[in-house]
Structure 1
Amino acid sequence: MNMTKIHIFDTTLRDGEQVPGCKLNQDQKIVLAKQLESLGVDIIEAGFPISSPGDFESVRAIARTIKDSTVCGLSRAVEKDIEVAAEALKEAVRPRIHTGIGTSENHIKYKFKSTEDKILERIKQSISYAKKFVEDIEFYAEDAGRTRNEFLARACQVAIDAGATVLNIPDTTGYCLPQEYGEKIAYLAANLTGLEHVVISTHCHNDLGLATANSIFGVINGARQIECTINGIGERAGNTSLEECVMTLKQHPELGFETNIRTQLLHTTSQMVSHEMGMIIQPNKAIVGSNAFAHSSGIHQDGVIKERSTYEIIDPAEVGVDKSSIVLTARSGRAALAYRLKELGCEVTKLELDALYAKFLELADVKKEIGETELMFLAENKDSIYADYAK
């Protein structure tokens, strides 16, 4: 099967950093940018250069450092923003300016106090101006999720005609349903001219928990770039999770899409972002959470011990995790206890296991989780525990 390449645009260092308390200094940004490049990210959005002197210097330092990935700087549809972004990106091997404006009726009326025609004129002027500095220009139609498809298409056509190379269709408020967002992308793909050398991009927020689903539906319907963050961090409820999208596409080859992401580095990258930003990863987070490959139910544990694929669709090694975890709780069964004891070098007979399991349940009803200390106690005292059980 010929697979279609999906570009991964990571905005951890820009949109992700907008989380309260997650501000990074320049050194931290460079460390993470290098890791993102190693991960295989196609485009790194390094920051919003005009927002502060520190962000300008960070974008410039990243542009100077990164050689394989495209380095992108955000700007509003304002000439000064664009000039500053271009200056910050001057030393980049592959620079991209990301500029745009709100297109929804809500944004036009309340945020800009403007009209559709004036917004279209600003799109044309800003992209034409940005084109004087770099060739690769990405246009974002902020709040595209709530923008009428007909006007969104007009705005995107103006952007294409002015020289945009990428069209970013953000579901800024996380409002869209997957089918609705997919239909929006399909509408653009069917109604725009000059798309031969232009990439349509998704940029979905997670306010309703639909960011990953919306991004996948966007790709199915014609988008060829996904904008996302490590661990799904970002404003409010977060952005699309890079690891979720990448592994969804990998687990469903029948869709016909692939990425350049080196998935074995996902866990390490996730941990690095969590550490540098001080943002804890929820244990049940898909792909990279501490419980993503952990099993505590006896039925699940027995199945995984016999054959991993009974309850795991991803081999932990694919994302850089050593192995699945068999977590012992009061819900665990004999098979799990025997498995964990064997890991400690303690082989038991069926009768011995029955005795140890009875003692194990006594301990497990008192403690939430049975750890190595308790397991060592059971192993070291198995003879006396069995003798008491056999009486």
Structure 2
Amino acid sequence: MNFKKYQQYPTIQNFKREWADKTITKAPIYCSVDLRDGNQALENPLTIEQKLEYFKSLVRLGFKQIEVSYPSASDTDFNFTRKLIEEDLIPDDVAIQILIPAKKEWIKKSVEAMKDVKNGIFHLYNPTNEFQRRVVFQKSDDEIVQMAVESMQYLVELTKDFKGNVIYQYSPESFSQTNLDFAIKICNEVINIVKPTVENKMIINLPNTLESCTPNIYADRIEYMCKNLHHREALIISVHPHNDRGTSVASSELAVLAGADKVEGTLFGNGERAGNLDIINFAFNIYSSGIDPKLDLSIIDEVKNMYEEKTQLFVHPRHPFVGNMIFTAFSGGHQDAIKKGIDFYRQSESKIWNVPYLPIDPKDINRGYENVIRVNSQSGKGGASFIISEFFGVNLSKDEAIKFGDIIKKESDKLQRELKKEEIINLYEKYIKKGI
């Protein structure tokens, strides 16, 4: 392996960052890109019927901005967009977003797809990094700027008579590999075309199209852009982090500290390559900090089932907050701490959740405590005692707990597997209750 062919990501020199002294105090604007970015990464893209059911779940979850399609890419995307609008399937407080490449014929088709939309976000993009400019498009910097400016002018012209609420969004699509000064130049040129105001803002989207740097460097780049874009008060700064380094959630959190107002992502991180930002993970992190996540996370298991059925992708059992085993402890030391923590939480009638190894109360997402402690040969007296107290209503004495823990450990060792709740209760009745 030749590591020398790779280079370190450049940092911003002589930059006085402010984000490091800030904390997140409220949820940003969320935009789901499941039906576009996530959908294009599926082996079998969703049908119109599947997209509609998925869309309804996103609305139930609480998303107010949903990127529904790339209308110029396929008839399915175009027709799905028309179906949503013509059949009045979009709630009045939800905006649908479409992705538009900076090419006139595709802009025209995309605008046709959004005819009569009540709340529409027109997301225009073109690649801006030096390599793509030079090798893929074979254009100069000025020609790339001209592409963006002329495309936005054309988009504004085509949508000027729309009766609904129109919001323009621009992305320097390869922002993560784009020279910052050039990114500022092209964004400001586009901003000058739209002429946003505080009452009618536009969105500047700054994607980590390919995640190549640590989250702190991404945050620096976002803050630098925020400080150098024209009419910042009339802009909504959006981020679209991918997960190539596995740090998209951290990148998003630090980007919000750095000034981002909106985050784009998908349920459970589906997307190209290593995926997009896992917006569910992000929202749960906010929730577990005592901040309203602005999504109804109590229905997340229902949403997870829908997601797995439609995408044929499966949420990892260790997925933060949502995986089937995320609240599960097998370790004896963990189990003892959890049991004592839950007992104290109940007895003290505490208003603050503070139970070891459980970041949130499983009951917040309609999960009971049945799977919190599972017993195998790695477990100790605390796990078995918890099962008996929680599901049999009996509190073991210290001596009984030690004796019963040894019995459980030997039985699990003998069977070479986890013991079920019913088996544990049967062993209790046989060896402890009857005193055998």
Using structure 2 for the length normalisation, give the TM-score: 0.82
| Mapped contact 1:169–1:200 kept (Cα < 8 A) | yes
Distance 1:87 1:216 in 2: 36
Q: Are 1:14 and 2:63 matched, yes or no?
A: no
State the match for 2:261 in structure 1: 224
Cα deviation digits, residues 305-330 of structure 1 (max 9, x gap): 22142222222234444446112122
State the match for 1:96 in structure 2: 121
Secondary structure class of the residue paired with 2:34: coil
| Mapped contact 2:284–2:293 kept (Cα < 8 A) | no
State the match for 1:313 in structure 2: 359
Amino acid in the other structure paired with 2:357: Y
Distance 1:59 1:178 in 2: 34
Which one of the candidate residues 346, 369, 375 is aligned to 1:328? 375
1:375/1:193 CA distance change after superposition, 3 Å: same
Q: Are 1:70 and 2:92 matched, yes or no?
A: no
Distance 2:155 2:213 in 1: 30
Distance 2:131 2:417 in 1: 50
1:2/1:105 CA distance change after superposition, 3 Å: closer
Amino acid in the other structure paired with 2:190: A
Amino acid in the other structure paired with 1:369: E
Q: Are 1:276 and 2:310 matched, yes or no?
A: yes
| Mapped contact 1:82–1:97 kept (Cα < 8 A) | no
Amino acid in the other structure paired with 1:212: V
Distance 2:417 2:238 in 1: 45
Q: Are 1:61 and 2:98 matched, yes or no?
A: no
1:81/1:316 CA distance change after superposition, 3 Å: farther
1:27/1:118 CA distance change after superposition, 3 Å: same
Using structure 1 for the length normalisation, give the TM-score: 0.91
Root-mean-square deviation (CA, aligned residues, Å) is 2.4
Bigger shift: residues 65-74 or 126-135:
126-135
Cα shift at 1:267: 3.2
Amino acid in the other structure paired with 1:260: K
Secondary structure class of the residue paired with 1:268: helix
Cα deviation digits, residues 265-297 of structure 1 (max 9, x gap): 333223321221111111111121112211221
State the match for 2:411 in structure 1: 363
State the match for 2:199 in structure 1: none
1:230/1:320 CA distance change after superposition, 3 Å: farther
| Mapped contact 2:385–2:396 kept (Cα < 8 A) | no
Cα shift at 1:220: 0.4
Q: Are 1:161 and 2:192 matched, yes or no?
A: yes
Cα shift at 1:111: 2.4
What is the count of residue pairs matched by the alignment? 384
Which one of the candidate residues 301, 304, 326 is aligned to 1:292? 326
Distance 2:234 2:48 in 1: 34
Distance 1:273 1:348 in 2: 41
Q: Are 1:140 and 2:171 matched, yes or no?
A: yes
Matches within 5 A, 1:1-391: 4=26, 6-63=28-85, 64-67=88-91, 68-131=93-156, 132-133=158-159, 135-163=166-194, 165-252=202-289, 259-308=293-342, 309-323=355-369, 325-345=372-392, 347=394, 349-350=396-397, 351-365=399-413, 366-382=415-431, 386-387=435-436
Cα deviation digits, residues 172-226 of structure 1 (max 9, x gap): 1111211111011111111111122211111011011011111111110011000
1:361/1:259 CA distance change after superposition, 3 Å: closer
Distance 1:88 1:76 in 2: 14
| Mapped contact 2:381–2:404 kept (Cα < 8 A) | no
| Mapped contact 2:27–2:286 kept (Cα < 8 A) | no
Q: Gaps spanning 5+ residues in structure 2: where?
A: 1-22, 197-201, 343-354
Distance 2:310 2:386 in 1: 36
Distance 1:347 1:314 in 2: 26
| Mapped contact 1:178–1:214 kept (Cα < 8 A) | yes
Distance 1:137 1:367 in 2: 60
1:251/1:338 CA distance change after superposition, 3 Å: closer
Amino acid in the other structure paired with 1:75: I
Distance 2:44 2:384 in 1: 41
Bigger shift: residues 334-343 or 147-156:
334-343
Distance 2:131 2:323 in 1: 37
| Mapped contact 1:168–1:202 kept (Cα < 8 A) | yes
Secondary structure class of the residue paired with 2:392: coil
